[in-house]
Structure 1
């Protein structure tokens, strides 16, 4: 497993500060939230994109993913969603990011599948995948797997397992992983007070079954990105991400697949 940290946990810090935090705590990557407040968004010029990439690479970091906000299953005009996602894929290509996170925001897999198919050519050309998060109206692994199966584009799509959401929607980690196994490309880790109170808390001090999830991922041989999504942007009263990253690093170290001789 490779540890990344999302800039969602670093409101107002900026790219230079995020790089400093990531390197200080031994992260291999940064998950960049796409928003004007973070300094990384589709409105960047070619020179600005090159500078973002240069700074990250100079720090010996990788961009693990771009955390976008396209609502891939939301009812409405296809063209708008396809254009927005295409722009984010092109930004990912320029920055060297392997994937772009999207939200479902709808419950009809046919809608999302149609849009994922529409961007598949661009994604393939750029070498970037669309990562569908277990979130909102498709919070379970079963729901996201159904969408990705309907899309039928395994080379350009993948599942992002946010460990919180399927569990809080009464899907066990074992069932989530079973459903997502053919598609799993990315993991976001976090802890929270409870299934009903999602206030972030330090790793291991809340109710998310992190040990169970870790054991399942290790048994499955998962060796991809694990990103700490510390939601300080939405919960400004919680501790700085500096205080939480050591726990995330320890979790990744504990559950990384064992090397075989």
Structure 2
């Protein structure tokens, strides 16, 4: 498996500095948070996109995914959401990223069936555009669809190879799923896996990998046992927790912890 970290852990940091961190601490790739407050987002013009792609290539660091904020199950009109997904797909194509992350974002006033159908309709439409660009859309286990079983309700309706799953291990755990259950649901559609650690279900402040309660060893074990050879991406949510320790000083211990788990499960 290859190791990456998300720029959510170093909010607003220039891309050159992000790539320097990845290189210095032994990571193979980065997940780029695609938000207007970040250096890389869908509003970049073609010249800037070319510069970003060249910088990634020169550093030898892969961009595994563009983490967008399109909420595909959210109430409202379809077209704005589909347009947002298409803009993320264009950005991913231009940067050489294989994946785009989208969120479910179902509303409290929707029935699960309505949220599922809304997400599946939008993802099915966007899938054809994704296929033309050679990029996959990944629905993250999150918010209204936090478990693998929840995500599979949508993915089963879509039934398109360009639409898959992003397994956020915190949300499936908070949803009451064991890693073996999440893997069984998501494995046919799995794009990559976001790892993290937290103190408890009541305190989701980010912690160094291995310092919290999330079953990371079980996640790595089930992935290894089934021969999965994709990305593990550390999503350290510093952006939302100002008091969390800075990520740069944790990157090497985090990589070492994941490497140890991989060796133990080999």
Q: Structure 2 length normalisation: TM-score? A: 0.93
Return the offset for 1:37.
2.2
Mapped pair 1:169 → 2:213: no
The answer as to whether partners of 1:81 and 1:115 remain within 8 angstroms in 2 is yes
Matches within 5 A, 1:5-44: 5-44=5-44
Matches within 5 A, 1:105-254: 105-106=105-106, 107=112, 108-154=115-161, 156-254=162-260
Mapped pair 1:2 → 2:2: yes
Secondary structure of the 2:185 match is: helix
Match of 1:104 in 2: 104
**Aligned counterparts of 2:40 and 2:126: Cα–Cα separation in 1:** 21
CA RMSD of aligned residues (A): 1.6
Secondary structure of the 1:8 match is: helix
**Aligned counterparts of 1:112 and 1:31: Cα–Cα separation in 2:** 23
Return the offset for 1:255.
4.2
The runs of 5 or more residues in structure 2 that have no matched partner are 107-111
The answer as to whether partners of 2:139 and 2:151 remain within 8 angstroms in 1 is yes
Off by >6 Å, runs of 4+ in structure 1: 257-260
| Deviation by residue 1:76-124 (Cα, 9 ceiling, x = unmatched) | 1001111110111011111111010000011421111111111112101
Return the offset for 1:259.
11
Relative to 1, partners in 2 of residues 1:258 and 1:192: Cα closer, same or farther, differing over 3 Å? closer
Q: How many aligned positions are there? A: 259
The answer as to whether partners of 1:15 and 1:38 remain within 8 angstroms in 2 is no
- Residues 240-249 or 143-152, more deviating: 240-249
**Aligned counterparts of 1:72 and 1:135: Cα–Cα separation in 2:** 12
**Aligned counterparts of 2:69 and 2:206: Cα–Cα separation in 1:** 21
**Aligned counterparts of 2:105 and 2:40: Cα–Cα separation in 1:** 23
| Deviation by residue 1:214-237 (Cα, 9 ceiling, x = unmatched) | 111111111111111011111121
**Aligned counterparts of 2:163 and 2:253: Cα–Cα separation in 1:** 30
The answer as to whether partners of 2:8 and 2:236 remain within 8 angstroms in 1 is yes
Return the offset for 1:248.
3.0
Return the offset for 1:157.
1.0
| Deviation by residue 1:50-82 (Cα, 9 ceiling, x = unmatched) | 001011110001111000000011111001111
Match of 2:109 in 1: none
The answer as to whether partners of 2:221 and 2:262 remain within 8 angstroms in 1 is no
The answer as to whether partners of 1:88 and 1:100 remain within 8 angstroms in 2 is yes
Secondary structure of the 2:203 match is: coil
